[in-house]
Structure formats: structure tokens, C-alpha cells
Structure 1
Amino acid sequence: MLVVFNKLLIVVTGYILLLNIAFGKTEQRWFFALASDDIIDNAADKDTLDNVQRYFAGKDLTIEDSRLTISSDTSCEIVEEDTTPVKYWMSENTVSFYHSFFERYNIKLNENIQILKTLNINSECRYPFSELIKIDNALVMVYKNRAIFYFAASDPRFKAVVESAGENEIACTNNGNELDDVNNDGYIVKCTYPNSDILSIYLQFVNKNKSDNVLQYLKDEIKSGENSKVVISAEFFIEYKWNGDDKLTISIYQPGGETDIIFSSLAGNTSIKTIYLPD
């Protein structure tokens, strides 16, 4: 265990990041899923689970043509190197430790891994995004004595996390459904999701409404700040409009009325306000 501690100390003090990325010429997008329990006891550089989750909330990653982009506003060139876990950690004991540790989070440490590093030490992609590792098609980084896991939106592991994430902590309110209120302001339902970001909550919302007659037409994936339109028919279409990175309004137009779904992010929490406006 001393070997493990020494290696982790090097990881933390040397600002080394472990990320697992499926890398290629086409665009790859990854979303923060969860942070692990403490890796070792009595670590000097650590933080609470809530603080770590807030730090990574909204920091989605995109890799395209040897370039890493963080949250659509920070990017840098990276290079990929093939290696093995033993060569990287320089210890069979450390590899054995991580093999068991990652298994707890459904990550398999294979015989070969890929390290992704920034080409320029002065690049904008700084700790904890300066060195990445590919492990079983998941992004894994060590930060504040915790493993941080990123997955692609289509990964079953990400979907499982999204479906089970904090449902008991979600707070929802509505304005009632008196006829005058509905005619004037629409029927409004607002739900707040703690320790979350717009992109991950949007994916959760989409996955939960796959069988809905209307919401099934929502896009499977979206990009922060990218406005778009989905046309189902001449009288049925959906518009996506961003107001900065912290607010997304989805307007659904169809015969019988309009529905606005507003995603807002504030202080690490995300709210969904649904407004039903009849004709």
C-alpha cells in the first residue's frame, strides 16, 4: 500500500491526470458521471464529494483531430501514447490495487492503455486536464484523492448513473392548474436537481421520456451554446435556444399549444421549468 500511496502522491503533486478516452479522427464527446470514494486514507490533498462533483459539473469533454476541448471554451493539442499499466504505474502492486478499485465502478483495467498528453506544458488544458489515459472506454482522472469518471452519452454505464442519480433529492413544484392561471401563464412545473449541470440533466430528461408521444423527438445529444431546430412536420417542430452556457430553452410547437422546457444552471444546481401554453 506504501507503493500505491507514493504513486498517488506523485499523481497529485505532479498534476498528472488520468482520463480514459476513446480517441479517433471523429468527434468524441464525454460527460461527467460520478466521483469515487476516497482512494486512500489520510490523503493530504482531498476535498468533499459535493465540492468535487460541483467542480466537474458541466465540464464535458470533446476530442477531435488530436484536440481536446473542455466545456466548449478551452482547448489544446494532445498526443496519444500506447503503454501498459505496469509501465505507467511502475509497480505490480499498484496495478493490482487499481484493478480492484476500478472494478468497483465497472471499469476494467486492461493489459494496454493509452496516455493522452498536452503537447505544450503551457497550454490552456491545465490540471486536472493535462494528461489523460484510456481505460475501458471511460474517462478516469484522479483529483482530490478521488477517481473521476466520464462516459460517452451512449455508454450503458453513463445511462445507469443518470437514471439513478439523486432522484430522491429532486425537488419539484407547480403553480396549480386553475384555468385562469393556465390561460395567463401556462401550467408550470419546476424541478431542481442538486450538484448537476444542464447537459447531464438534459440527457437524463431525454432518457426518461423516450416513450412520450412528443418528447421522444428531442435530440439525443446537444452541444452547449449551439442553437438548432428539429422539424417533425409543417406544424410540429422543436427549437433549441441557448442564452449563454447557463440557460437553454426548448420550445415545442404543435397543434393545440406550445410547450417551453427551460434548463437553468445556478450555483452547481440545475432546474427544469416546463411551461404548457394552450392555444
Structure 2
Amino acid sequence: MKNFLFSSLLLMLLPYFTYASDIDLHKDSYYLLIKDRLSDEDDLLKSILDEFVTQNNEKISIAGCDLNHVETTKENINAILDNSNFYKDYDQELKKYHLSLNEFNRLYSIDESNLSEECRQLSYKYIIQLENNELMIPYKNLLSFYQRLSKEDENKIDNLKNNQQCFDSKKTDEMQWTNICYYKNMTILDVYNAMALIPDYVFREKIKEGKNFSHFYKDKEVKVDYIWDGTNKLEIIQYFAGGDTAYYFIYQGGKTKVISIYSAD
């Protein structure tokens, strides 16, 4: 139950997390997990690591928490990682991917002295940017890798953020929260296709106006219903083990309104 409530709060606050973490929109890059480098059998691990990552020269934002760029040389990066037992803990993984200090370009580190309780518990203490521009995240003796989105997809995210106006989340009853956002100059499909790039929303299917369908995702243990009412209204309901999440997309007057309702059992 606690995990579901925390996940719901992250979902509600996601627009604020991503926007507040930006220093300069022109410098932002967005990354997603390279899933095929993980074992096909480990759906749970993929689900845990399937994060949307924002990166710029100053920081990396992941799961609502910031890791700051460490201004240092490669020699100092080596010393920092060595002192944290990185090379010992990840020796086999580094050999597996043929990686060494020469491939490490930038280091980002979490500042535990200035964090919320949730961020203090974050499993990612260091993130390394490689020479090939991928991000590498050490996680429980495994290395996960994140690839930058295409320019087209990055433009979708920027368009979503730049046209977004959200209001404070409201707790409508003891176990329910509501969030409302408007996206000017964007259709329902524009908004959905941008949000679909962010794994937390679990918007994995390509949709067409007026086409209703359902899908079950085993890794998330969630059933998702897509229900259209004409071409200007779309309802998406997600049935999780710990509660339901409903999204209502309404297009009117040249903008799309998205009402998100999070209900815990």
C-alpha cells in the first residue's frame, strides 16, 4: 500500500519534478532505459529501472531526485568510485561490457545532506555519463544503461512542458487525489504521445481516435482500458493491485485538459 501511495504521489507531481529540475531548457536531454541489455527473464528489474531521466550540464534528475555534476578530473572520478567500492562491486559487470575509466566522461552524485526522505532512500548514488553519451547507473551490483531520446521525441517532451499549465493536486477524499493540467495548442494525440515517452504513465500503446481496447502488462501487473467518447474525449483507466488511476483527456478550444485521478484501495 505504501509503495502504491508513493508511486501515485510521484505520478501526480511528475510535471512539477521535471519542470522544477530544469536549469536551462535548451540544455536538457532525456534518456530511457536500454532494456535489451538486461536479462529477458528479469521483468521486475526492468520495471524498477524503467525511469525517465532528465540530464543537463548541472544535474541529472531521476525519480524526482537530483544528482549534481561533480566538477573533477578523470583521476578524481576514479578515486571517488574506488572509495565507494564501485570497482570491486561491479568488476564483473565492467568486464562484461568492456568498460574502464577511459570510457567515463562525467560523474553525477547525489547530495544526501540536502534531500527529502524519499531521495535519501534512492538506490542511485552515482550516475556516470560515458564517452558514447549513454548514462550508466550502478544498481545492486548490476549496471543499467540509458540512451538519449531522438530529437523528434525530445521535441515532444519540450512541447509538452512548454505548453503545460497545472494546478495544485487536490485530495478529494481519504484515499483519492486529483490533478488537472492544460496543454495549449496540443491535441489529445499530441499530449498522449509525449506522455507515452515517460514510463511512469504506462502509456505503451499507439492509439487512434475512436478505437477502444484493453491491454494487460504483466511486468506492472496492471490492466489498462482505452475508451473514446467521440474524437475529443479519451478515458484511460489503469487497474493496479493497490488501486486505480484514471486519466481523462478533453480537447476543447485549441487545448487539451488532462484530469488525473489516483485512487488507492
TM-score (norm 2): 0.43
The answer to which structure, 1 or 2, has the higher relative contact order (CA under 8 A, 6+ apart) is: 1
For the pair shown, the structure with the greater C-alpha radius of gyration is 1
* Larger proportion of helix: 2
TM-score (norm 1): 0.42
